[in-house]
Amino acid sequence: MASYRKTEEALAALTPEQYWVTQESGTERPGTGALLANKEPGIYVDIVSGEPLFASSDKYESGCGWPSFTKPIEPAHVAEITDTSHGMVRTEVRSRHGDSHLGHVFNDGPRDRGGLRYCINSASLRFVHRDDMEAEGYGAYLPQVEEVA
C-alpha cells in the first residue's frame, strides 16, 4: 500500500498558482486549466501527495470551464466539506492525505452516471498516462482506465 502525504519538498515544487489553489483554496480561471481538454487515458492524482483521485474514464465535458468527473477513482481519498464562502453553500472537495483543495462537487452531473459533477482545478492535479501507471506505482488502477480506441 502506497503512502500518500504532504511533504515540504512537494510544496516547494509547486508553481505559485498550484500553491494558491491547493493550499489557499484558490480557483483557477475557467477555461485556462492545462488538463481541461485532456482526453488521454490515465488517472489524475493529487499534485501534492500523489494520491489517486480520478480516472480518465470518469472525465466528461460539462462546459463549466474546469475538468469534470462523475466520481472519484478512490472515494476514500476524497473529503467533502461544506463551504460557505462567497455567500454560497457548496461542497468543497479536498484530497484526504494531501489536504489539497481540489474544487467542488455539484449534483448537476450526468444522471445516467450518478448525477454528480466533480468540478476540479487542473492546478491541483497531475495526470499519469495509462502507459506510465504501472511504472509510477498506480498499476492497481489500470482496470479502471479505459484505453482510447
Q: Is 64 a catalytic residue?
A: no
Residue of 48, 105, 119, 133 with catalytic role: 119
Residue 149 in this model has a pLDDT that exceeds 50: no
**Lowest mean per-residue pLDDT among 63-72, 84-93, 113-122, 129-138:** 84-93
Q: Domain-by-domain residue ranges, the chain?
A: 8-142
Residue ranges with strand state E in the chain: 42-46, 52-55, 59-60, 68-69, 78-83, 90-95, 101-106, 117-120, 125-129
pTM for this entry: 0.93
Assign 147 a pLDDT band (cuts: 50, 70, 90).
low
Q: Could you name the CATH architecture of 8-142? A: Beta Complex (2.170)
Residue 1 in this model has a pLDDT that exceeds 60: no
What proportion of the chain, given as a percentage, has pLDDT over 90?
88
The strand pair at 125-129 and 52-55 is best described as: unpaired
Query: pLDDT per residue over 48-101, tens digit each?
Result: 999 999 999 999 999 999 999 999 999 999 999 988 887 888 899 999 999 999
